[in-house]
Structure 1
Amino acid sequence: MTEHQLPPLNALRAFEATARHLSVKNAANELCVTPGAVSQLIKTLEVHLGVPLFRRVNRGIFLTDVGQAYLPPVRNAFRQISDATCRVAVPEDTGILTVSATPFFASAWLVPRLKSFQDAHPDIDLQVVSSSALADFSRDGVDVAIRHGLGRYVGLSSQRVLTVEIVAVAAPALVKRLGMPETPAGLTRWPRVNDAERKAWALWFEAQGIESTGPARGPSFDDSGLLLKAVLAGQGAALLPAAVVADDLAEGRLVQLSDVSWLEDFAYYLVYPENSHDRPKVAAFREWILSEASRKAASSRKRAGRGGKGGRGPRQ
């Protein structure tokens, strides 16, 4: 087959995405086209090759033997194109670095610390975009992302930035009015601010061996940033990540209500394509954020100087 007989690129993309997901619908969502368009592209490729690439059984699809043999070189070709593009498009450690972060992490932890990165790397201009969805690095123009999860992302590199230690906090005015609780059980009588699912407090009390306090009462928020604002406004006690409220605690805007804390299964991870690991801008940001997270965690422990840390509790 000569180069003029190569299959259409869009048909190959549809084949690779469908083979990866084993779903026409999921492939269509990834490629931003309709399932019908994906099916037509696959049919075009099968006609071009003269062989079927998928078997359709009931409502599922599976690769034929030919499809299984065809997939690795097609996937490798796309990877080589991607690697070559990165090498050509990013020749030096200058320009814009686009960082995608969850809204709460961006506002409560990342943005207040960015000046130190800019001081260390004045030739790199950061562009921070907030999103809770996993970035599509091939289409969104995102260089690195910070996501809350277990750190397992297929085809992506990830490094743990922050382990999510959960602490009970409240505004000083509320503590002054109600008095500091002597035990975690004392918080059962406090007004409380809740997460969207209204489960965090029940799990926290359960981790301390405290009997059920009944249905969760008080306001709830589906955004941790809004929840933090409600706590700062004195609307109630809340459970929030220790790392992102460390400055508020140190500067007296919040008070930690109990020495007891517990760790979520989830953590914040720095995520980026595997082929971006050695890109100068990505390496610079990775080194900075991991160093900053480590430094802040050590500083927070030193400032707190408090023992009584509880065991690992259930995940929020």
Structure 2
Amino acid sequence: MLSVRAFEAAARHANFARAGEELCVSAGAIGHQVRLLEEWVGRGLFVRGARSVELTELGRRYFLEVRSLLEELERASLSLRNAADDAEVTVTAMPSFVTRWLMPRLGRFRTLHPRIEVRLLASVPPVDFAKDRVDLAIRLGAGAYAGFVSEALLPETFHAVVHPSLQDGLRKPRDVLQCTLLHDEYETRIPEQMDWPRWCAAQGLGVAAQRLRQGLRFSHTYLTLDAAAAGQGVAVASDVLAGDAVAQGLLVRAPGVPVEGPYKYHLVHPRTSADRPQVSAFCDWLRQEAANFRRTAGAPPA
């Protein structure tokens, strides 16, 4: 079974290293298991390249059959789990999204569905849905999550934000740089995330890179926003994470044109998760909350 699971992951990713990352083993271990399977079958299943692998015709047919069987196995496992745990939904999202967007809205879900228990995990990707017993994940990215259902929920629009006491004297974007700059050490490492150099470029400001590296740094966006709300400086933040604080008057938007972020928050789950009524109910509620937020925040469609 281990060899079959290694084969399926390698076939899906077309890469032994990425398959190893998913299964928490080395690329060499994946290659070893695949070779064992090929020896047992007596035929090659992959054509190996320098940086990727490609299925042979036999491997392609086998992959389709294996994937179908694994989905059936997952469905049977979920059915067994549902029998003992039919009123719980487990959701994982990045810490800042949990604290700044999802958690403040959960009370509305409990009002609508008082019998469904929510288990909320603040975690950084990747997530092992089976091992961690997770039904749904909310992730920031481009939307390509191989092997899973993914749908866009929320786009990001970025603004510079400060405590109201610091807005005096901020008349144009360059004035923002008079404040202490607050920096995110992002929770998830994906290319081209918004930072001060990209915000300045969008404003047409030519600023020395050394100046833009100065200031305070934080491991999570919610910490950066807490510092901004405490009057410690100015942060570049998305409307998704800072929008509630702006609406409550804890932060104000500084001068500058809004900047569309390169990524969106996505709802991600195994194909079989939505078969559970409580998971389907949470997904429906989440879509409605996201639509309400986009409408009130004036954000573009997801």
Q: TM-score by structure 1 length?
A: 0.81
For the 8 Å contact 1:93–1:280, the answer to whether it is kept is: no
- Aligned partner of 1:29 among 21, 34, 37: 21
- Aligned partner of 2:175 among 168, 177, 186: 186
Deviation at 1:159, TM superposition (A): 2.5
How many positions carry a matched residue from both structures? 292
For the 8 Å contact 1:11–1:44, the answer to whether it is kept is: yes
Percentage of identical aligned residues:
34
Matched residue of 2:181: which SS? coil
Matched residue of 1:277: which SS? helix
Q: Which stretch shows the higher mean deviation, 157-166 or 47-56?
A: 47-56
RMSD of aligned Cα (Å): 2.8
* Structure 2 portions without partners, runs of 5+: 187-192
**Aligned residue number for residue 108 of structure 1:** 100
- Structure 2 residue 150 is the aligned partner of structure 1 residue 164: no
Deviation at 1:57, TM superposition (A): 5.5
Relative to structure 1, the CA distance from residue 172 to residue 123 in structure 2 (aligned partners, 3 Å threshold; closer, same or farther) is: same
Q: Which has the higher contact order (CA 8 A, sep 6+)?
A: 2
Relative to structure 1, the CA distance from residue 297 to residue 49 in structure 2 (aligned partners, 3 Å threshold; closer, same or farther) is: closer
For the 8 Å contact 2:88–2:119, the answer to whether it is kept is: yes
Q: Which stretch shows the higher mean deviation, 267-276 or 183-192?
A: 183-192
- Structure 2 residue 64 is the aligned partner of structure 1 residue 72: yes
State how far apart, in whole Å, the 2-side matches of 1:199 and 1:64 are. 41
**Aligned residue number for residue 124 of structure 1:** 116
In the alignment, residue 257 of structure 2 is paired with which amino acid? V
Matched residue of 1:252: which SS? coil
State how far apart, in whole Å, the 2-side matches of 1:57 and 1:39 are. 13
**Aligned residue number for residue 306 of structure 1:** none
Relative to structure 1, the CA distance from residue 35 to residue 241 in structure 2 (aligned partners, 3 Å threshold; closer, same or farther) is: closer
State how far apart, in whole Å, the 2-side matches of 1:58 and 1:186 are. 51
> What are the within-5 Å matches in structure 2 for residues 193-208 of structure 1?
193-196=182-185, 200-208=195-203
State how far apart, in whole Å, the 2-side matches of 1:107 and 1:58 are. 43
Offset from partner CA, 1:110-165 (integer Å, 9 cap, x none): 11111111111111111111112132223321100111112222222222222111
- Aligned partner of 2:254 among 233, 252, 257: 257
- Structure 2 residue 205 is the aligned partner of structure 1 residue 210: yes
- Structure 2 residue 272 is the aligned partner of structure 1 residue 272: no
